[in-house]
Structure 1
Amino acid sequence: MFKIAVIVNCYNYAEYVERAIRSVVAQNRSDCELVVIDDGSTDASWEVISRTGVTAYRIENSGQRRACAFGLDQTTAPFVLFLDADDELVPGALDTIVPYLQPSIAKVQFCLSRVDGGSTSLGSAVPEPELIREPGNLRERVRRTGVYVSPPTSGNVFRRDLCELLRDADYDDAVDGIIILAAPFFGEIVSLPVELGLYRVHTRNMSGVGRTIDTDKIEQHMKRFEHLIDHLNMIMPKDSKSRQLDAKRTFFYLEKKLILASINGDANRYFQLPRLIGVVAQEYFSLPKKLVLSLFHILVALLPVSMSRHLIEIRYRPEQRSVGALTKTLVGNGH
């Protein structure tokens, strides 16, 4: 039986998809099941994919989540890696990952080296190795903050039963949503502080660069987060259901709520501040990080709207952030 399936999902990435495919083939592992899904590309992606000779399917455009779910139906391996078509695995990546694939493991996550469109190193990883090493009970971290340190899609290997949750996530188009959030509740998380893949930063996946903060996007992501938490509460294993999650009490939600209120000049931001600072004080963050976060949110709440907005834009400016999730929360981002 195959130990791992790699599903490459592609939408209009003709210039990169062959690199992604070749990076998997070069792993030279007989226990790797490779499938490529062309999600109705309108460029030359299908022609590029076809000439590689790997197992591939061309479907009507339906979005990343549905394309990856279709890929699940074409594979049988008990563990799955969804590789974005503009990303790559480094040589020997699967040799490092496969020994960790055991029934008790819900997810293996690893760092990705940031490169530009021409594969030139940008000198940092996502997430940084020291962040992925963070100890602590990840279930409790999700309960209290709504998040934990996790790489983008291509830096995760999921147990297949976790991937099946994608089929009921009709509120979402992304893959790195419910299955990342739910993973700590379904088994152990193995975090490897090594760079086993390439995360390509280019003009199309950094489409928010140079834009001002989009309040509509903030509201959309808050709503998406509520849907994610509702879904997680529904599918959480029985031993966890006695402690349901409340999206509106998490750091993630409260922070976005304060930022939105500050941008809009809502007087309620003053009353929201103490609750958010109280949540920060109780979190797993280091003391220096707690102090920095607290100062940031105090300034955001108390400064005039124009200065507050500028401060928020500095913190979340896309070209200065290595973690895509923060960028997607505050600015527009392309498919």
Structure 2
Amino acid sequence: MFIQSTDDVPTGPACSLDVADEPTIDVVILNYNYGRFVADAISSALAQTRPFGRVIVVNDGSTDDSLARIAQFSTQIRLVDKPNGGQLSACFAGLAECTAEYIWFLDADDYLLEAAVETLTPYLFSRPLKAQFQLVGVDEQKNPRDSCFPIYKDSYGSADMIEENQITGFYNSAPTSGNVYARSFLNGCNPELLNLRDFIDGVPNLIVPYLGEVLSLNTPLAFYRVHGGSHSQWNKPSPAVFEREIDMLANRWREAEVLSNGRARAPDIEGVLYTLERRLMIAALTAPVDVREASRRFISKLGQTRSSAPMWIGLRIWANLLRLPARGLRERLVIARRSTEGRPRFVNKAIICIKQLYGRGLPPPSA
């Protein structure tokens, strides 16, 4: 269950921007066999215009040259070298070395904008339990992928997220590197109740809106590297991948209910938009006779969401196009939905422009 930490930070009205009350941030870089990337992540953390309190690197039992790459920074970081146990286990190992109010978990294949800490810090004076922001998509060589995500609707907060969990299965949030958590919240998460081979953007991320306020910023603060070694397999969709994702969502909600003492209540997993979309894509790849009904159910659920008009229209068109008889076209449509690599470049740029019109985020706090 969620443990009330003894070092809880205050929540509520925004505090004045007083240096004595200034929120502090540590960064924990999570590395497993990302030797070819980890130096970029560490360098970006050390090059901040406003320094982190501590830069901690957790090597989760890598078998590549990660430790040799990390060694060049030995005098500037705290290294935790542990046997492989999964991303969440690495998060808790890094957390034990932290002293700041806020913790930024950075995947070792991602890296930060130079002014990330300086840009984020003023938002944390209100002491949210989590702040989430945008990531800029790049490829393995740091080339832009015409992707800046997520796009948050205006003043998107905890109440919206709780409602969205019941309709979609999860709320709009960034992957690991796009979130900063209050250490008090993380200290209250009992690792014995979690699958430590899961990710910090799984169960802990699901329950945080039920326990306090979350800020959503339409501001990019880090780069998200997409490559063949990442776990998501967004660019290689298959029925097996979709089935695993549905099972993972169900398992996460079971853990979330226990970890949150029942404050987070699981939705109907088979009825949420997340599952209905994957059932539709499975049908498009394997059982075209079932696509029409799967498409109808997906569109019906989509109508219950608060998606912007352009997104609602675009997804409805996509779902109807999956009814076409050409298997090759259906496969391309599935890939296009999952990955920016599957779309023409002008389409990705248009999507970003349209989404930005419907999500302005919070204005910067005044000094």
TM-score (norm 2): 0.75
Q: Which has the higher contact order (CA 8 A, sep 6+)?
A: 2
Give me the whole-angstrom Cα distance separating, in 1, the residues matched to 2:290 and 2:146.
41
Q: 1:289 to 1:199 in 2, by over 3 A?
A: closer
The 8 Å contact of residues 24 and 101 in structure 2, kept in 1 or not, is answered as yes
The 8 Å contact of residues 2 and 32 in structure 1, kept in 2 or not, is answered as no
Q: 1:86 to 1:5 in 2, by over 3 A?
A: same
2:155 is the counterpart of 1:132: no
* Corresponding residue SS for 1:81: strand
Q: Residue 330 of structure 2 corresponds to which residue in structure 1?
A: 308
Moved more, 77-86 or 107-116: 107-116
* Corresponding residue SS for 1:298: helix
Give me the whole-angstrom Cα distance separating, in 2, the residues matched to 1:162 and 1:320.
38
- 2:219 paired residue among 194, 198, 203: 194
Matches within 5 A, 1:142-181: 142-164=165-187, 165=189, 167=191, 168-170=193-195, 172-181=197-206
* Corresponding residue SS for 1:260: helix
Tell me how far 1:219 sits from its aligned partner.
0.5
The 8 Å contact of residues 4 and 32 in structure 1, kept in 2 or not, is answered as yes
The 8 Å contact of residues 171 and 224 in structure 1, kept in 2 or not, is answered as no
Moved more, 243-252 or 83-92: 243-252
Q: 1:316 to 1:115 in 2, by over 3 A?
A: closer
Count of aligned residue pairs for this structure pair? 316
Q: 1:100 to 1:2 in 2, by over 3 A?
A: closer
Gaps of 5+ in 1: 323-335
* Corresponding residue SS for 1:279: helix
Q: 1:298 to 1:181 in 2, by over 3 A?
A: same
Tell me how far 1:110 sits from its aligned partner.
1.7
Tell me how far 1:31 sits from its aligned partner.
5.9
* Corresponding residue SS for 1:80: strand
The 8 Å contact of residues 254 and 266 in structure 2, kept in 1 or not, is answered as no
Q: 1:290 to 1:113 in 2, by over 3 A?
A: closer
Q: Residue 218 of structure 1 corresponds to which residue in structure 2?
A: 242
Give me the whole-angstrom Cα distance separating, in 1, the residues matched to 2:133 and 2:324.
39
2:39 is the counterpart of 1:18: yes
Give me the whole-angstrom Cα distance separating, in 2, the residues matched to 1:210 and 1:268.
23
Q: 1:209 to 1:250 in 2, by over 3 A?
A: closer
One-letter amino acid of the counterpart of residue 274, structure 2: F
Q: Residue 261 of structure 1 corresponds to which residue in structure 2?
A: 283
Tell me how far 1:207 sits from its aligned partner.
8.8
* Corresponding residue SS for 2:36: coil
- 2:124 paired residue among 101, 125, 132: 101
2:100 is the counterpart of 1:77: yes
The 8 Å contact of residues 172 and 224 in structure 1, kept in 2 or not, is answered as no
Give me the whole-angstrom Cα distance separating, in 1, the residues matched to 2:38 and 2:59.
10
The alignment yields a C-alpha RMSD, in angstroms, of: 3.0
Tell me how far 1:210 sits from its aligned partner.
7.0
- 1:229 paired residue among 253, 262, 268: 253
One-letter amino acid of the counterpart of residue 225, structure 2: R
Q: Residue 296 of structure 1 corresponds to which residue in structure 2?
A: 318
Tell me how far 1:143 sits from its aligned partner.
1.6
Give me the whole-angstrom Cα distance separating, in 2, the residues matched to 1:124 and 1:311.
18
The 8 Å contact of residues 91 and 105 in structure 2, kept in 1 or not, is answered as yes
The 8 Å contact of residues 80 and 93 in structure 2, kept in 1 or not, is answered as no
Q: Residue 3 of structure 2 corresponds to which residue in structure 1?
A: none
One-letter amino acid of the counterpart of residue 132, structure 1: Y
1:14-46 deviation per Cα after TM superposition (whole angstroms, max 9, x unaligned): 232222112222226566122111111222211
1:106-153 deviation per Cα after TM superposition (whole angstroms, max 9, x unaligned): 2111222233334344444233xxx22445522111221123332221
Give me the whole-angstrom Cα distance separating, in 2, the residues matched to 1:30 and 1:316.
36
Give me the whole-angstrom Cα distance separating, in 2, the residues matched to 1:100 and 1:229.
29
Q: 1:78 to 1:110 in 2, by over 3 A?
A: same
Q: 1:210 to 1:256 in 2, by over 3 A?
A: closer
- 1:66 paired residue among 89, 96, 103: 89
One-letter amino acid of the counterpart of residue 48, structure 2: Q
Gaps of 5+ in 2: 1-21, 349-367
Q: Residue 332 of structure 1 corresponds to which residue in structure 2?
A: none
Give me the whole-angstrom Cα distance separating, in 1, the residues matched to 2:25 and 2:294.
46
One-letter amino acid of the counterpart of residue 60, structure 2: D
* Corresponding residue SS for 1:16: helix
Overall identity of the aligned pairs, in %: 30
Moved more, 98-107 or 250-259: 98-107
Give me the whole-angstrom Cα distance separating, in 2, the residues matched to 1:50 and 1:82.
20
1:30-67 deviation per Cα after TM superposition (whole angstroms, max 9, x unaligned): 66122111111222211221221211021112222211
The 8 Å contact of residues 130 and 214 in structure 2, kept in 1 or not, is answered as yes
Give me the whole-angstrom Cα distance separating, in 1, the residues matched to 2:135 and 2:55.
20
Tell me how far 1:8 sits from its aligned partner.
0.5
Moved more, 102-111 or 253-262: 102-111
Where does structure 1 differ by over 6 angstroms across 4 or more consecutive aligned residues? none
Q: 1:301 to 1:178 in 2, by over 3 A?
A: farther
